[in-house]
Amino acid sequence: MPSVAVRNPHLLVWRDPPPWPFVWRGLLPLTGLAAAVLIAFGPLAHRTIEADVQGEIRARLNAAGFSWSALAVSGQNVTLAGEEPAPAEGERALALARDATCPTWLGPRTCAVRVVGRFTAALPALAGTAPQQAAAQACERSLASVLTSGEIVFASGSAIIDAGSSPLLDHLAQAARSCPGSIRIEGHTDIIGRTAFNRSLSEARAQAVRAALIERGISAQRLSAQGFGAARPIADNRTENGRARNRRIEFHAVAAAAVPEG
């Protein structure tokens, strides 16, 4: 490092120049490198990667006829869910997702580092004779019709039913009294949140509706409750409107033989 001579009438002293200009110049490249790292690994890059993975795999699934499968992406981890229309369809969907490639600076690369499936089998057909099946289907339509006039509202992230849903539950109980056989109450959620929590929440909400109908005079023997979490979407979970539709309660007739009221 160069030195500067300071002349004194009585003494010649050599002093080094202050180091700060050189230190700041050295920090400039490090600052640029840190900025590049933040851009490469920051939230913006994370969202960009997720969007690419979501878009490529969704397009591949839709093109192959797997639009029934819900798709959740976290970074490069992918989860497929939904009701399989036929045996082994879930495995085929998983294979397509694993083979999907995304564009990168180095050329096409596999989109997902991990792909898992959470599929459920299709609901079995109603048992009984043709007239009994027709009566059960009419029951389901009647209950579904009641739900078109409103929805059962729960506290956010909870299974507590809002008091404003009481009139709707009264109408559902009235419709359920005329149904033959038993009724299964199903709870469903959107994909926001952890899978285990969503399944537990959907189960608790279905049980809360069951308890509300029992309070209104429907036999406990006729009612069962089951939660499916986000495994059976009916709308696109990528939109707020779709997620709202997926957060729902459904009613299904599961037996044709009549069970007397208790």
- Banded model confidence at residue 82, pLDDT cuts 50, 70, 90: confident
**110 DSSP assignment:** E
- Banded model confidence at residue 19, pLDDT cuts 50, 70, 90: low
Which amino acid is located at 161 in the chain? I
Task: Decide: residue 211, CB within 10 A, 0-12 exposed, 13-18 middle, 19+ buried.
Answer: middle
Which single residue is written with the structure tokens 């009984």?
Answer: 128
Higher pLDDT, 254 or 42: 254
31-45, 53-67, 246-260 — which is least confidently predicted? 31-45
Q: What is the SS3 assignment for 101? A: strand
Residue 58 has pLDDT above 80, yes or no: yes
Taking phi first (over 0 means left), then psi (-120 to 50 degrees means alpha), and beta for anything else, what does residue 75 get? left
Instruction: Give which of 190, 188, 192, 191 is closest to 202, Cα–Cα.
Output: 188
What pTM value is reported for the model? 0.56
Task: Say how many C-beta atoms besides its own lie within 10 A of residue 57's C-beta.
Answer: 27
Do the first three CATH levels of 43-121 and 130-253 match, i.e. the same topology? no
Higher pLDDT, 45 or 205: 205
- What radius of gyration do the chain's Cα atoms show? 31
Q: Please report, to the nearest 10 degrees, the dihedral formed by the alpha carbons of residues 251, 86, 193, 116 taken in order.
A: 160
Task: Decide: residue 232, CB within 10 A, 0-12 exposed, 13-18 middle, 19+ buried.
Answer: buried
Size of the chain, expressed as the number of residues it contains: 262
Q: Note the pLDDT tens digit of each residue in 43-53.
A: 545 567 788 88
**217 DSSP assignment:** T
Q: Note the pLDDT tens digit of each residue in 29-45.
A: 666 665 555 544 445 45
Mean pLDDT calculated for residue range 119-135? 66
Mean pLDDT calculated for residue range 231-239? 81
Task: Measure the CA–CA gap between 247 and 241, rounded to whole angstroms.
Answer: 10
12-26, 58-72, 157-171, 175-189 — which is least confidently predicted? 12-26
The CATH architecture that domain 43-121 belongs to is 2-Layer Sandwich (3.30)
- Contact in structure between 97 and 112 (CB atoms under 8 Å): yes
- Contact in structure between 200 and 208 (CB atoms under 8 Å): no
Residue 167 has pLDDT above 70, yes or no: yes
Residue ranges per structural domain of the chain: 43-121, 130-253
> Phi, psi at residue 257, to the nearest 5°?
-70, 135
Q: What was the pLDDT predicted at 258? A: 42
Task: Measure the CA–CA gap between 87 and 109, rounded to whole angstroms.
Answer: 30
* Residue range 130-253 in CATH 3.30.1330.60: yes
